[in-house]
Amino acid sequence: MLSYRHAFHAGNHADVLKHLVLVLTLEYYLRKDKPFWYIDTHAGAGLYQLGSAEAQKTHEFAHGIQLLWDADAPPAALHPYLSLLQQLNPHPHLQQYPGSPWIAAQMLRPTDQLRLFELHPADFAALGGLLGKDKRTQFCKQDGLQGLLGLLPPPARRAVILIDPSYELKTDYQGVVDTLAKAHQRFATGTYLLWYPVISRARVGQMSAALQNSGITDILQIEFCPLPDSNALGMTGSGMFVINPPWLLENQMRDISPWLHQQMATHGGHFSITSSPPK
């Protein structure tokens, strides 16, 4: 299905969580001189205008990144993420929000590589227009869940892989776990960032159980829900399963989660961090 367009949701609380975890993970990988790959299974358009008709229709960014943009004295661990936004928005007003491909392209070195999957024709064209001149980057107009396995293991034997489908189909929940299990069998040492929406608590529980039963170990689960769980329609929050997380990440997120919760969770909700140690 191709009905999902991220332009309606750019900069919301789920983007904040996903991109903060991504920036902290890439920062850790950059500490070593050895090159690595960044693989994005659902790259999107790469850059979003918050003044667009799509973003203004939902105004989701106002309850996400806008709150952090306007906040005073953010924790130090947030500075790299916010500095990227300031680089993109040098003026006082927040006008553009980056997708994960733009973030990675800014952070990676000339020796690193980007591999970006996007199936939607309009978003694929926009992504090529944004990063098409970047010689480190290769684009594939394909569902990344189908294309990912063909890239593993990467020649560099180091990689950060972001998996964040739209979950338009109920089968996506099991599909991402199946793909991740196969990917881990081919390339067990990569860092996998699996994003998921919190719409049904039962589905999140099923994903967590499926990951545990897959034999994958060393899983860090980070979840932020600005709203309490509900049986009503709609996303109350989101989370990340991080496979082989950087050793700093758990403590970084524990340090900044109270501040993030204070800024963005105005109606209760929760921020949780749980880990299963490597065997």
Residues in the annotated binding site for S-adenosyl-L-methionine: 19, 42, 100, 118, 143-144, 164
Structural tokens at position 226: 């600005």
CA-based R_g, the chain, Å = 17
The β-bridge relationship of strands 237-243 and 219-225 is: antiparallel
Q: Please, where are the H alpha helices in the chain?
A: 13-29, 53-58, 65-70, 79-88, 100-107, 121-131, 144-147, 171-186, 201-213, 249-264
CB of 237 closer than 8 Å to CB of 189: no
Rounded Cα gap, residues 223 and 237, in angstroms: 8
Question: Is residue 69 within 8 Å of 85, Cβ to Cβ?
Answer: yes
> Which of 154, 112, 102 is closest to 136 using CA atoms?
112
Which residues are known to be catalytic?
A: 164
- Closest of 230, 239, 236 to residue 176, by C-alpha: 239
